[in-house]
Structure 1
Amino acid sequence: MSHSDEEKATYDQDAGADVFVREVPSHDAASSSWVDRMKVKGDWLEQKIGMESQGIERVPDTVEARTDHHPSHNASLWLAANCVLSTFGLGILGPGTFYLGLGDSMLIILFVNIFTAVIPAYLATFGPNLGLRQMTSSRYSWGWHGAKIFALLNCVACIGWSSINTIAGSQALRVVADDKISHAVGVVVIAVITLFIGLFGYKWVHLYERFSWIPTAIAFLALLGCSARHFVNIPMGTGQLEASNALSFAGVIFGFTAGWVSMASDYNVYQPSSTPKWKTFAWTYIGLIIPLVLVMWLGAAVMCAAEFQDSWMEAFESNELGGLLGAAFFPVVGHGGGGFFLFLLVLSVVSNNIINVYSMGLSISVTSTFIAKLPQVIWPVLVTAIYVPIAIVGADSFAVSLENFMAIIGQWLAIFSAVVLEEHFIFRKGSFPSYNAEFTWNDPSALPMGLGALGAFCAGVIGAWAGMSQVWYIGPIGKLVGGDANPYGGDVGFILSGTFAAIVYPITRTLEKKWLKR
């Protein structure tokens, strides 16, 4: 990590931040630009109140900087981020939107998650080994300018995630309040709690996530106890209609699980490079796979039961996710007990949203050196101001918003993952020292031009176009998958986008290295 003569690196232990921060001497502030002066004041404020001021800069591999020596923190963070209402809501889409039975929904959930979770779990190992956030390390495959494109896409994804999560929480909160508060009030309450925690950065995000999954898990277990006697297995379908619906549901699940790819290493950059890679991978994979599978299974089971419980289906149709949960809880534990468990599930939304609020600030800093100079405290406030009105507008359409968002996000993440992984394994032989991250992470001349990745991206877009099946467009292959049995087609865009990109990248990257020598 390089610094100018006017800038030095310090470690703020007294403020209790335990993170790497930058300090600009006050005697240079008068001659600096207004942005530099804002950075100085922002760093001062962040240090005083214990916020993390470390941005996208590489965290040096030193004892003073790498203060997190617990690989197991990867498990608790991802466990909390996925043991949430939105994960449950994804499970209900199998029977509720794609007309699948319980058995086929559970099988799709299991196998798609088993394979997809490998990607963010492996990319998490980049954090300790490179000391770089995920969008910053993507410069080594996508190039200086190409990484900016995906950083912007990740910002959009973070806003989308936050909006959908908040919609789910506000629906549940409204049921808790017996419809005496509006969705808008619920959205604002959740957003304020998220903002308060997300403002403080890495250390406090980890601290909150380490314990927040426990009450949420208890609430889901209570839901299982209240609803299990109503579980019914809807028979598995057959033929082309079943196949197209199964593929579309698989695409939605892929988008949800792969959604962590773009931020997987953001939360372990303070762990030493000596941390065994297998421990980082294993703990991350465990933290992902357990809640993803079990909570989605529960969502699918409750939704199948609703098909045979008129009161549950009426509640779902009137207040979607919150109504369905209330219908399952209230007859068994009463309004008071059900309201308590629902409130715990509302708080689970915060666990997911603080990940998005925190990572968006890092991603947007990759897009511009000017933006990277701005105080980190700005970004949680900005992303909150953006997603709150979006969540208020879409508060009555959780299922539709989730389905459409997951299908689209899965396609660009498939392309992104294919390029990053092939660069790592094919062209860098899986060797982290080959990145020389300490000296090259912020040097455009030492990074690839990104032309090889651009070629793969174009190929991936063609695959997404051909295979997608959305309300607003059905690609030729997506339509072929649906056939006469399903006029809505079957979404295979996530498969084709990643496959096309993976085929093209080794060719275009080889040519790029041959011609440009970088």
Structure 2
Amino acid sequence: MSDIEKHAGLDAAVSPHDGGSTTSASEQLKPQGRWATFQAYNARLEAALGIEARGIERVPETERPDHRLWGNLTLWLSANCVLPTFGVGILGPLLFGLGLGDSLLTIAFFVLASAALPALCSTFGPKLGLRQMTSSRFSWGWAGAKGVAALNCVACVGWSVANTIGGAQTLCAVGEYSFSPAVGTVIIALCTLVIGLFGYKHVHAYEQYAWLPTAVTYLVVLGVAAKHLVNTPMGAGRAEAASVLSFGGVIWGFEIGWVSLASDYNVYMPADASSKLVFMWTYLGLAVPGVLVMWLGAAIGAAASAGALPGASPTLVNWNTAYTTNELGGLISAVMVPPLGGGGKFFMVLLVLSVIANNIINVYSMGMSISVISRYLAYVPRLVWPVVITAIYIPLAIVGADRFAATLQDFLSVLGYWLAIFVVVVVEEHFIFRRADFDKYDAARAWNNRALLPIGLGAMAAFCFGAAGAAVGMAQVWWIGPLGKLVGGEFGGDIGFELASGFTAVVYPLFRFLEIKYIGR
């Protein structure tokens, strides 16, 4: 008899107040005393402002009014048709020294392959009615989910910092550097906070249309830049392979970054929603802007890199100088302002505003993830957490305002390591141990009852092996693993996420089988 069958008579869930006892669903998350008074006033405020009150609790099938499955497309389209996506594309030529052709091929391969993973994770939302970090309890266990939720909070802050740095640089360029990046940082952060504060419905409403002005802007960028684009040649040999792998690792980190929160944005969709359609809409929303916008960034980055060569045109020399001096913001200004003047600045402002569409995702999801870390944090109203994350990332973005490329490279590479481990565990649990059957999760009763959840020993053991794989394969400024050095020589070729994925994929089934055999769940 399975563990779930043994507990079939329990219509129970663990209250965040007792950490282990069982309570009826109606009694869950009911604070007492002063907390009850505070929550009552908070509920009135949320109702008056139309703010989503629900936290990490499972959304019952009867409370799922969002039948627009195509909302998965527009949300992820807006979150990825943004300035940071363009910023990733320019790194191929301008940071890793790749030519145009190999930059385009690397982008296409890594985006199309890695976007499938967050698209798969998004299918968990309608079927389980749970946010991504909450559903991770079914593979990582009660304690393990706390750990990955904490890592996801760090990731949300890191995303917000990197995105805001690029936006602030561009806004400073619009103002011709008459104000500091701190001003741009605060403007972007506050605009993000206003929308992210209100919750699911308002996030979807904003993201439904946010991609349109940005897409038009990128078409204008292409039209202005097209006559200046040049085909820089591919490299060859070991150094070229190392650069492709390292650039691919950054792209992987950008795309895979959504696996830890993909299902946060469709939990109000019906449980009988087609998983194939949810997957398809999410995949298109991730892959299409990922490829096209990064391609545009790579093309302009390659032309800017050609500006450093003898005999380059004055325009490309200007592009190269602008990037060298002021990074992403300087490059966009050099491309847009000379031919369009004030019109170019207008489109640059639209690109700055696009950062909001990406940052909203981080601000909203951190509020969900942090409530998984501790049962006491679940008491805190959801609207508090967007304010907290905003207060954290503003000073960090100000400090790193002149290091967009380095921040993006370092952050996305490291992000890719741990998320590779996380998603392999989730996927293998789903297909090997749950047989891709969402009924086997018994989400309605088990999501908040640690007696019905795995201990998580298999996942935590796999994490250790996966981390070891990342350590021997990574190639960062602060550490080049032995296998990374073997691939790329002195400067290394980053194969950290590949080894982290591989080690985890081999080890997790073994330890999970042992966990089930000796513990029973």
- The aligned residue for residue 68 of structure 1 is 66
- The aligned residue for residue 56 of structure 2 is 56
- The aligned residue for residue 424 of structure 1 is 430
Q: How many residues align?
A: 494
Distance in 2 (CA, whole Å) between partners of 1:172 and 1:245 is 27
Q: What is the CA distance between 1:8 and its match in structure 2?
A: 4.6
Q: What is the CA distance between 1:6 and its match in structure 2?
A: 9.9
Distance in 1 (CA, whole Å) between partners of 2:326 and 2:46 is 41
- Out of 500, 508, 511, the residue aligned to residue 511 of structure 2 is 508
2:229, 2:303 within 8 Å by CA — same for their partners in 1?
yes
Q: What is the CA distance between 1:39 and its match in structure 2?
A: 2.6
- Out of 482, 491, 507, the residue aligned to residue 488 of structure 1 is 491
- Out of 341, 345, 354, the residue aligned to residue 339 of structure 1 is 345
- The aligned residue for residue 18 of structure 1 is none
1:459, 1:500 within 8 Å by CA — same for their partners in 2?
yes
Distance in 2 (CA, whole Å) between partners of 1:156 and 1:168 is 19
Which aligned pairs between 1:287-366 and structure 2 lie closer than 5 A?
Answer: 287-307=285-305, 308=307, 309-334=316-341, 336-366=342-372
Distance in 2 (CA, whole Å) between partners of 1:318 and 1:238 is 29
Q: What is the CA distance between 1:480 and its match in structure 2?
A: 0.5
1:89, 1:321 within 8 Å by CA — same for their partners in 2?
yes
TM-score (norm 1): 0.93
Distance in 2 (CA, whole Å) between partners of 1:219 and 1:202 is 27
Q: 1:506 to 1:8 in 2, by over 3 A?
A: closer
Q: Deviations over 1:283-302 (max 9, x none)?
A: 00010011000000000000
- Out of 157, 168, 171, the residue aligned to residue 170 of structure 1 is 168
Q: Deviations over 1:38-65 (max 9, x none)?
A: 3332222111110001100000011xx1
- The aligned residue for residue 378 of structure 2 is 372
1:411, 1:497 within 8 Å by CA — same for their partners in 2?
yes
- The aligned residue for residue 194 of structure 2 is 196
- The aligned residue for residue 118 of structure 1 is 116
Q: What is the CA distance between 1:178 and its match in structure 2?
A: 1.4
Distance in 2 (CA, whole Å) between partners of 1:35 and 1:164 is 36
Q: 1:464 to 1:7 in 2, by over 3 A?
A: closer
2:29, 2:379 within 8 Å by CA — same for their partners in 1?
no
Distance in 2 (CA, whole Å) between partners of 1:5 and 1:87 is 46
Distance in 2 (CA, whole Å) between partners of 1:33 and 1:160 is 37
Distance in 1 (CA, whole Å) between partners of 2:80 and 2:37 is 39
Q: What is the CA distance between 1:277 and its match in structure 2?
A: 0.6
Q: Deviations over 1:43-102 (max 9, x none)?
A: 22111110001100000011xx10100000000000000011100000011001110001
- The aligned residue for residue 142 of structure 1 is 140
- The aligned residue for residue 80 of structure 2 is 82
Q: 1:47 to 1:509 in 2, by over 3 A?
A: same
Percentage of identical aligned residues: 56
Q: 1:41 to 1:8 in 2, by over 3 A?
A: farther
Distance in 2 (CA, whole Å) between partners of 1:147 and 1:40 is 29
| SS, match of residue 261 in structure 2 | helix
Distance in 1 (CA, whole Å) between partners of 2:102 and 2:37 is 58
Residue segments in structure 1 that go unaligned for 5+ positions in a row = 10-21
- The aligned residue for residue 447 of structure 2 is 441
Q: 1:438 to 1:5 in 2, by over 3 A?
A: closer
Q: Judge which range, 308-317 or 77-86, deviates more.
A: 308-317
Which aligned pairs between 1:385-400 and structure 2 lie closer than 5 A?
Answer: 385-400=391-406
Q: Judge which range, 489-498 or 325-334, deviates more.
A: 325-334
- The aligned residue for residue 255 of structure 1 is 253
Q: What is the CA distance between 1:455 and its match in structure 2?
A: 1.2
Q: What is the CA distance between 1:505 and its match in structure 2?
A: 0.4
- Out of 94, 97, 100, the residue aligned to residue 95 of structure 2 is 97
2:77, 2:286 within 8 Å by CA — same for their partners in 1?
yes
Distance in 2 (CA, whole Å) between partners of 1:6 and 1:450 is 25
Distance in 2 (CA, whole Å) between partners of 1:5 and 1:399 is 50
Distance in 2 (CA, whole Å) between partners of 1:35 and 1:452 is 37
1:38, 1:375 within 8 Å by CA — same for their partners in 2?
no
- The aligned residue for residue 9 of structure 2 is none
Q: Judge which range, 381-390 or 45-54, deviates more.
A: 45-54
| SS, match of residue 261 in structure 1 | coil
| SS, match of residue 479 in structure 2 | coil
Distance in 1 (CA, whole Å) between partners of 2:458 and 2:171 is 48
| SS, match of residue 262 in structure 1 | coil
- Out of 205, 208, 211, the residue aligned to residue 209 of structure 2 is 211
Name the amino acid aligned to 1:172: T
Q: What is the CA distance between 1:23 and its match in structure 2?
A: 9.6
Name the amino acid aligned to 2:361: I
Distance in 1 (CA, whole Å) between partners of 2:388 and 2:518 is 42
Q: Judge which range, 292-301 or 41-50, deviates more.
A: 41-50
| SS, match of residue 388 in structure 1 | helix
TM-score (norm 2): 0.93
Name the amino acid aligned to 1:409: L
